[in-house]
Structure formats: structure tokens, C-alpha cells
Structure 1
Amino acid sequence: MYERKTLPELNCGLDLVGEVLYGKWKMRLLWFIHEGFQRPSELQRKIPGASRRVLNVQLKELESHELVGKVIYPVVPPKVEYYLTDFGKSLIPVIDAIGQWGDQHDDHLRTLILKNTKP
């Protein structure tokens, strides 16, 4: 697993949030777990653009930051379910607000992103 070689800059709240939420799929993972999609295969179906390995890495990071917890059922094959911790639940209003902002500025953001994307 990746091991950080330098200490992160933790000078303000934005630095702290960036360290916890940095990762392309983390906010989506938190949102989908909040919506009730808890099994890794369900999360994979909700985020088809992400590889299983990347999702597993980001779920582990969310778990290490105590935003999600994991239950492993003793069955064959193993069954795993993720859930939001109380700490993770406290982020849902923030993620919801970011999503609403994106929806309000959908056309403008889409135009900017597509303009800066090379085919």
C-alpha cells in the first residue's frame, strides 16, 4: 500500500478536509453508502468508471479516517458491508451542499470542463 514520504500540510480546516476527502471517488462513496448501497459490488455498479482496486483503496482510507465502518460476515464467500459512522454522517450535509451547488451551476461548469478537455 502507498506510504506517504512527507508529512501533510495541516494548517487550516481546508487542509484537514482535503486530506480526508482527497480522492476522486470518496465523496460519491460516502453519498452512496448514505443512500444504502453498502456492499462493494453495489458501490462498483454505482461508480462504473472506477476500478475495484481504486474503490477498495479509497474505502480503506475512509475507514482509516473513521468516516465509514466495515462489517465482515463469517460466511463463504465472505460478505462485507460498509456503513457510515456518526463522524461520517456529519459530512453528509456538506456533500449535499456541494452537490446542490454543482446542480445550480451545471451548465456553466459543464461548459468550462468540456472546453478544457481535449478530445
Structure 2
Amino acid sequence: MTTGPWSEKTFRIRIVRRPEGEAPDWVRDAWIGVEIPLLAPDAVSTLGFGVLSGPKNIVLDYLLGLIGRAKPIAGYVVAADTAVECLMEHAPAAAEWWREQAPYLVRKGARFIFDTPACERVP
């Protein structure tokens, strides 16, 4: 269960523009119009990796982060498995692309960050 001062309200974003990333354009375009619950109420600034070129496990993720291979990103954090479920309702072929091409990301505990310009907060 989520805890914190904002836990009683579910915050959401709607994807309004093609998100940045390494997925094919048609997959990124499929996110437009999808609403996704947030894991944190505000956008964050952090370091991350591309979904295709980045590390496939947490140890490598940590090590590459230590040596400066991660790139800065500002955006909204969502649960990857929940995001793909939301996408499935909107564009099943795009959701299937995620399950086939990046299965290590579409699991409980994995996170996606959608860049801030691609999102709007849902009231």
C-alpha cells in the first residue's frame, strides 16, 4: 500500500505528445491519450537508461550509473506493468511490443519515466 501525505488521492497523468525514448515511433505514438496512475505526485529529475540500449538487470544498472553512463531525465514515474496494462486497453499491439521487446521492464517493481513535456496531470 502506498504511504505518504498524498496516498489518499490517486494522481494520474495523460500522455499528450509522443514520449521520448527508444521504442519505435508507432509504439511511442500509441501512448498518446493513455492515462496512467503515478507512483509519486510530482515530476522528478533523475538518471536513467534507454529501454533497449540500457542494462537488463539491476546490478548492471547500478554499476553503469556509478561510472556515469546514465543520462538525466525529468518526468513522471509510473509502474511499468500498470502502464502497459493501461496501454493494452488503448493499443494492444503496442502493449504487446513492450511484452516482447522489453519483458525485463514489464514486471512488478519496474518503473517507467515519461518525460514531462509528453504529459499533463489529470485533475
Scaled by the length of structure 1, the TM-score of the pair is 0.30
Larger helix proportion of the pair: 1
Instruction: Tell me: higher relative CO, structure 1 or 2? Use CA pairs within 8 A at least 6 residues apart.
Output: 2
The structure in which a higher percent of residues are strand is 2
| TM-score (normalizing by structure 2) | 0.30
